[in-house]
Amino acid sequence: MANQLLLVAVFVLGVSAITKKTLVHNHAKTITSNDDYIGCPSNNDFYYNGTINSPFYPYNYPPNDKCYYYISAEPGKVLKISFSHFDLESCCDFVTIYDGPALNSKKLVQIGGPGSNVTTAGTYYTTTRNAVVTFESNPTIQKSGFSMQYESVNNVSPCNRDIFLIVNGLANVGTQANFQKEIDFIANKLTPTWNVGLTKVRVMLNLQSDIDYAIIWSAEDVPTNANVTQEVLHMLDYIPDVTQDNNTDLECLFRYAYDGLDDSKEFDERYGIEQVVIVFVAANANDDQDFNESFEFAHKIRTERDAKLILVGMGPGLDQARLSKLAYASGYAFFSPSYDNLSSLIPQINNAICSGLNSQCGP
Ligand SMILES: *[C@@H]1O[C@H](CO)[C@@H](O)[C@H](O)[C@H]1NC(C)=O
Ligand SMILES: *[C@@H]1O[C@H](CO)[C@@H](O)[C@H](O)[C@H]1NC(C)=O
Ligand SMILES: *[C@@H]1O[C@H](CO)[C@@H](O)[C@H](O)[C@H]1NC(C)=O
Ligand SMILES: *[C@@H]1O[C@H](CO)[C@@H](O)[C@H](O)[C@H]1NC(C)=O
Ligand SMILES: *[C@@H]1O[C@H](CO)[C@@H](O)[C@H](O)[C@H]1NC(C)=O
Ligand SMILES: *[C@@H]1O[C@H](CO)[C@@H](O)[C@H](O)[C@H]1NC(C)=O
């Protein structure tokens, strides 16, 4: 008798909570009379790290049940989902993990149940910041259910990011030998330290060859490390003599970075994945106006595109204090006075790619 009363109370609580959740997440749901939400958490938003148990765990879950769990990783991370206990009627009761913030996100896995050949629970990583997990049981046979751990992690090197490289093919690189060293650095040194992939570290490329001209590779054009290396080396074919490109403008690098980050174009952003732009700078601004325009675009990259700008200064004679103002915040600009020594910057660049908001960063 007491048990029955408890069940009814939980049932009512669960329904009111999920009704609210339906509005928040805006997903259609047919509520039938005798199933769903029994023993589900009344607040089904989960953050960062924790454990979620099936209804009444470690006791048996009820028949005809359905629960929804909405999970968010820490900013800049993805979710690792694993199970310390998994005991379901495998034909008919099941857990589904969606890779994203809603039920129409891509299905990562369905463990058990109709149409699934996965019967044992493994460890899963989302490719975005969010996951939706559902649990469903049918009318027959109840078991002890599951205990699921979720954790905010980066599971690729240097971390899960969308990275847009603004490669400098302007005449102010100085010599073709310098340009070759820049290309060698990006193709053979820097990007090989990343796990490139459409669901890992997503890379886009912009080769700036003139004040008003660039060649752009979308993430789909360079889906693997080998593709990135090959296409960056291929830039030498596009620019056989960098000194023939005679403009020395700084602003165009930032303007093209800003334009390229427009997600309606080449940059197909992933939900909840942080965006980073790396701009390779080889000269100071021509004049105050050039610097001001560069600053304007650098600012909009942060405020409008919500991306983090890392500046890599190459070669001698750069005004480091002034150029650093174009980076995302203090500590996001790096300089190598010699083109032979660009590789020494890799640890700092990768650290900046993965670091969170700098305390000195503006709003
Ligand atoms: C969550 O777990 C990760 C990985 O174990 C850890 O680095 C992080 O500090 C944790 N976050 C919180 C808020 O506990
Ligand atoms: C399970 O099903 C998927 C998709 O239908 C298939 O790609 C995979 O090979 C199957 N795995 C096993 C172990 O049968
Ligand atoms: C990536 O590289 C592989 C192997 O060289 C190649 O087959 C594939 O076409 C490349 N993909 C693109 C999009 O260029
Ligand atoms: C760039 O170089 C070309 C060929 O050397 C020359 O005709 C042109 O006037 C130059 N343009 C500028 C803006 O210096
Ligand atoms: C550049 O910006 C500074 C500070 O906003 C301003 O004082 C200066 O007049 C600007 N110069 C040019 C040439 O636009
Ligand atoms: C190269 O970089 C390292 C580390 O920053 C530095 O110690 C070294 O002096 C640099 N060498 C040259 C030739 O610039």
> Does CATH number 3.40.50.300 belong to domain 44-153?
no
- Output the ligand 5 site: residues, CB below 6 A: 288-289, 292
C-beta 344 within 6 A of ligand 6? yes
The whole-number pLDDT of residue 42 equals 87
Average pLDDT of the residues in 153-172? 96
Q: What is the pLDDT of residues 286-344, one digit of tens each?
A: 999 999 999 999 999 999 988 999 999 999 999 999 999 999 998 999 999 999 999 99
Query: How far, in whole angstroms, is CA 123 from its chain's centroid?
Result: 19
CA distance 135 to 68: 7
Is the alpha carbon torsion for 327, 330, 331, 336 positive or negative?
A: positive
- Ligand 6 pocket, mutate which of 341, 342, 345, 346 (most atoms under 8 A from CB): 341
Q: Which listed CATH number (3.40.50.410, 1.10.10.10, 3.40.50.460, 3.40.50.2300) goes with 162-354?
A: 3.40.50.410
Dihedral Cα 50, 53, 58, 64, nearest 10 deg:
180
Q: DSSP assignment of 264-314, as one string?
A: TTT--PPTT--EEEEEEE-S--SSHHHHHHHHHHHHHHHHTS-EEEEEEEE
CA of 211 to the centre of ligand 4 (A): 12
The whole-number pLDDT of residue 358 equals 44
Contacts of 33 (CB under 8 A, 6+ apart): none
Phi and psi (nearest 5°) for 206?
-130, 115
- The pTM (predicted TM-score) of the whole model is 0.84
The whole-number pLDDT of residue 262 equals 80
- Domain ranges within the chain, ordered by starting residue: 44-153, 162-354
C-beta 49 within 6 A of ligand 1? yes
Q: What is the pLDDT of residues 166-215, one digit of tens each?
A: 999 999 999 999 999 999 999 999 999 999 999 999 999 999 999 999 99
Of the pLDDT bands very low, low, confident and very high (cuts 50, 70, 90), residue 363 is: very low
The whole-number pLDDT of residue 264 equals 57
| Strand ranges (E), the chain | 45-47, 50-53, 66-72, 78-87, 94-99, 106-111, 124-125, 130-136, 145-153, 162-168, 202-210, 213-217, 275-281, 307-314, 333-336
The whole-number pLDDT of residue 263 equals 61
Q: What is the pLDDT of residues 224-258, one digit of tens each?
A: 999 999 999 999 999 999 999 877 799 999 999 99
Which residue minimizes the CA distance to atom 12 of ligand 3?
A: 221
The whole-number pLDDT of residue 115 equals 92
Which residue minimizes the CA distance to atom 1 of ligand 3?
A: 227
Chain-wide mean pLDDT for the chain?
88
Average pLDDT of the residues in 45-65? 96
CA of 247 to the centre of ligand 4 (A): 8
Q: What is the pLDDT of residues 37-53, one digit of tens each?
A: 889 998 999 999 999 99
3-state secondary structure of 241: coil
The whole-number pLDDT of residue 34 equals 46
What is the gyration radius of the CA atoms in the chain, in angstroms? 26
Give percent of the chain above pLDDT 90. 79
Q: How far is CA 70 from each of CA 99, 280, 321, 358, rounded to the nearest angstrom? A: 11, 40, 45, 29
C-beta 149 within 6 A of ligand 1? no
Q: What is the pLDDT of residues 254-281, one digit of tens each?
A: 999 999 888 655 566 788 899 999 999 9
- Ligand 1 pocket, mutate which of 47, 48, 149, 160 (most atoms under 8 A from CB): 48
- Position with higher pLDDT, 361 vs 73: 73
Average pLDDT of the residues in 60-67? 95
